[in-house]
Amino acid sequence: MRFLTRSLLALFLTALTFGLLAYAGYVTVASVQERAAQADRPGTARERAFSVQVMPFQPGEVTPILSAFGEVRARRSLELRAPGSGRVIELADGFEDGARVEEGQLLLRLDPADARTARDLALSDMARAEAELREATRALDLAAEDVAAAEAQSDLRARALERRRDLAERGVGTEAQIEEAELALASSRQALVSRRQAMAQAEARRDQAETARDRQQITVAEAERRLQDTELYAGFSGILSDVAVVEGGLVSANERLGRVIDPDALEVAFRISTAQYLRLLDPDGELIDAAAQVSLELSGMEIASPARLTRVSAGTSDGQSGRLLFATIEAPRGFRPGDFVTVRTEEPALQGVALLPASAVDAASRVMVVNDDNRLEAHPVDVLRRQGDDVIVRASAELTGRNVVRETGPTLGAGILVNPQSADGADAGAGGFETPEMVRLDPERRAELIARVESNTQMPEQVRARLIAQLEQDEVPAQTLERLEAGPRGG
């Protein structure tokens, strides 16, 4: 009985297996026939939809930003030149590149021996000239007394002659006595003339002595100036640069010894095209008082300062084009003359324009607009400015409020079906500078960050000094802090 049961079960399983195999064969044959039948029928193509990022076209007021590269220069500098020749016997402490000096500080002293000797000789000659003047004055006084005595004697002789004539008229005197009195008067007058000549000579002598005294005073003043020129003082407070002198060295007259730069009086010189320059002029043809921003890249970090346009160069150098403009740096801390910086200047605001990404405009100055059927339409636009990754276009009534494709490409064209997507954080257009986020540091965090910068030996010394100067300010850009936090901690 058990044998029969097992036999029937085996037979059932065998039959079931063959049935399943037959069904699988049928399904396979049917699938092949269906595929062959579909290959014989004409195919229906499915339209592809491209995903694009769009932004609304919102016209308004946009302030164009003119970007250029420039060089930082010192507005106040003083060349140190040797006033005379000689040997340097004394230098100020720290007389070297980068050292700070104060106004009126003694910088160097030349050997004053020769200048002091010349001054002493000039003083000796001055004493002799003054003695000569005193002697000439006394001689003139004596000559004046002689003239006075001669005039008195002449008057006396004249009165004697009058008495002789009166006596002769009364019959008491003789003609011989009258002639004798006349001869005496003539002799006294001759003596008076001689005394006056002597007095004139004495006056001339005194005048010559005064002239010699005045000339000698000039000589003494010149000797004093030459003696003072052996010492060189700082005209204003600043930083030394291009120092080329050592103690004990010989210098010649007018030899350049260095330069003093005022680090708080800096400006940037940058060159723009003539067309850009015309956009910075007011109706009277004068340069507008435009705001600017000066930035310096430092190994991934940036030092920035507001600036103000001040003037334009009077001429154009040979081989140069455009215009050379100058902007005063209002916060020069961290900058040094010779730095290569980026200058961004605000142009006069434009009305009725829109700010779009540069990738939204193709080579034919067209933008792609999404219509109600999610298909693209090409619209020409008038490009007014190109600044960085953005363009400023003139507003159009056909585009206002519509969605514009942010980035066109060779696969996008008029009539293409798209799937528009709004880009999060897309900027529809705003003028002016982006104000960086500033963070106020507490003393502990500031000290920690400064210590981290000082311990970073891989950072260049100039970059380290500028970062420390930026960290010492009351507020620090958040971007700088993020880079410091993400950077290496030292070593």
What is the arithmetic mean of pLDDT over 301-317? 86
Higher-confidence residue: 365 or 182? 365
What is the arithmetic mean of pLDDT over 415-437? 57
Please tell me whether residues 251 and 269 are part of one structural domain. no
Whether residue 425 is predicted with pLDDT greater than 70 in this model: the reply is no
Give the pLDDT score at 294. Answer: 92
What is the arithmetic mean of pLDDT over 207-217? 90
Domain final residue, candidates 242, 260, 278: 260
Query: Rounded mean pLDDT of the chain?
Result: 82
Whether residue 490 is predicted with pLDDT greater than 60 in this model: the reply is no
Give the pLDDT score at 432. Answer: 37
Query: Is the residue at 318 inside a domain?
Result: yes
Q: Do the Cβ atoms of 419 and 374 come closer than 8 Å?
A: yes
Provide φ and ψ at 92, rounded to 5°: -65, 150
pLDDT band at 39 (very low <50, low <70, confident <90, very high): low
pTM: 0.57
Please tell me whether residues 292 and 242 are part of one structural domain. no
The total number of structural domains that make up the chain: 4
What is the arithmetic mean of pLDDT over 170-182? 73
The share of the chain scoring above pLDDT 70, in percent, equals: 90
Please tell me whether residues 97 and 234 are part of one structural domain. yes
pLDDT tens for 239-254 read: 888 888 888 888 888 8
Higher-confidence residue: 166 or 235? 235
- Which of 224-233, 404-413, 430-439, 471-480 shows the lowest mean pLDDT across its residues? 430-439
CATH number at residue 184: 1.10.287.620
pLDDT band at 378 (very low <50, low <70, confident <90, very high): confident
**How far apart, in Å, are the Cα atoms of 282 and each of 271, 286, 287, 288, 384?**
19, 6, 6, 6, 19
Whether residue 404 is predicted with pLDDT greater than 70 in this model: the reply is yes
Give the pLDDT score at 271. Answer: 92
Please tell me whether residues 236 and 339 are part of one structural domain. no
pLDDT band at 20 (very low <50, low <70, confident <90, very high): confident
Please tell me whether residues 86 and 138 are part of one structural domain. no
pLDDT band at 435 (very low <50, low <70, confident <90, very high): very low
Give the pLDDT score at 430. Answer: 33
Query: Is the residue at 474 inside a domain?
Result: yes
pLDDT band at 465 (very low <50, low <70, confident <90, very high): confident
Please tell me whether residues 252 and 267 are part of one structural domain. no
Q: Do the Cβ atoms of 79 and 400 come closer than 8 Å?
A: no
Give the pLDDT score at 462. Answer: 65
Query: Is the residue at 213 inside a domain?
Result: yes
Please tell me whether residues 207 and 266 are part of one structural domain. no
Give the pLDDT score at 427. Answer: 35
State how far the Cα of 280 lies from the Cα of 64, in Å rounded to an integer: 11
CATH number at residue 238: 2.40.50.100
Give the pLDDT score at 341. Answer: 93
What is the arithmetic mean of pLDDT over 182-209? 84
What is the arithmetic mean of pLDDT over 399-428? 76
Higher-confidence residue: 479 or 160? 160
Please tell me whether residues 291 and 218 are part of one structural domain. no
Q: Do the Cβ atoms of 454 and 471 come closer than 8 Å?
A: no
Please tell me whether residues 296 and 315 are part of one structural domain. yes
Query: Is the residue at 29 inside a domain?
Result: no
Query: Is the residue at 49 inside a domain?
Result: no
Please tell me whether residues 234 and 97 are part of one structural domain. yes
Please tell me whether residues 218 and 162 are part of one structural domain. yes
E strand or H helix at 327, and its extent?
strand 323-329
Of the CA atoms within 13 Å of residue 150, those in its CB half-sphere come to 20
Q: Do the Cβ atoms of 360 and 379 come closer than 8 Å?
A: no
Q: Do the Cβ atoms of 471 and 449 come closer than 8 Å?
A: yes
Give the pLDDT score at 434. Answer: 44
- Of these ranges, 10-14, 164-168, 232-236, 339-343, the one predicted with the greatest mean pLDDT is 339-343
Whether residue 104 is predicted with pLDDT greater than 70 in this model: the reply is yes
What is the arithmetic mean of pLDDT over 393-408? 85
Higher-confidence residue: 216 or 45? 216
pLDDT band at 266 (very low <50, low <70, confident <90, very high): very high
Please tell me whether residues 138 and 238 are part of one structural domain. no
pLDDT band at 1 (very low <50, low <70, confident <90, very high): low
Whether residue 184 is predicted with pLDDT greater than 50 in this model: the reply is yes
Q: How far apart are the first and last CA of the chain?
A: 92
DSSP 171-192: TSS-HHHHHHHHHHHHHHHHHH
E strand or H helix at 373, and its extent?
none
- Coil, helix or strand at residue 120: helix
Residue 314: give the domain boundaries. Answer: 262-346
What is the arithmetic mean of pLDDT over 324-333? 91
Whether residue 433 is predicted with pLDDT greater than 50 in this model: the reply is no
- Which of 70-74, 199-203, 220-224, 448-452 shows the lowest mean pLDDT across its residues? 448-452
- Of these ranges, 10-14, 218-222, 393-397, 480-484, the one predicted with the greatest mean pLDDT is 218-222
